[in-house]
Amino acid sequence: KQEVTQIPAALSVPEGENLVLNCSFTDSAIYNLQWFRQDPGKGLTSLLLIQSSQREQTSGRLNASLDKSSGRSTLYIAASQPGDSATYLCAVVSGTYKYIFGTGTRLKVLA
């Protein structure tokens, strides 16, 4: 059974810092890995999707990498801003199109 874990569970950093969020999964047979952000009480905003054949994806200040063999992905946020404060979720797609979500990292960027 696929299990997805995110470390740390919570993170508080001063504005301007570069930071790394981690996602690990137990079954390397995945099709996609996707990172989302979720603001309190809101739905999901897709940030980056990495297909199984890819190693990384970049969008603005965000960079996500994928190492299938070790079952890990990282989300790198450069020059963090208070507006980046949110919960970040990773999800893997394996099996019959099912998304398995990680436990989430609650990020707070202090002004």
Whole-number minimum distance, CB 46 to other proteins, in Å?
7
Shorter beta-carbon distance to other proteins: residue 50 or 109: 50
Quote the least distance from Cβ 55 to other proteins, whole Å. Answer: 18
Q: Taking CA 100 as the corner, what is the angle to CA 70 and CA 28, rounded to the nearest 5 degrees? A: 25
Binding-site ranges for other proteins (CB under 8 A): 31-32, 34, 36, 41-44, 46, 49, 89, 91, 93, 96-104
30 and 94 in contact (C-beta within 8 Å)?
Answer: yes
DSSP 43-95: -EEEEEEEETT-SEEEETTEEEEEETTTTEEEEEE-S--GGG-EEEEEEEEET
CB of 46 or CB of 81, closer to other proteins = 46
Q: Which is nearer to other proteins, 80 or 87 (CB)?
A: 87
How many residues appear in the chain?
111
Least distance to other proteins, CB of residue 90, Å: 10
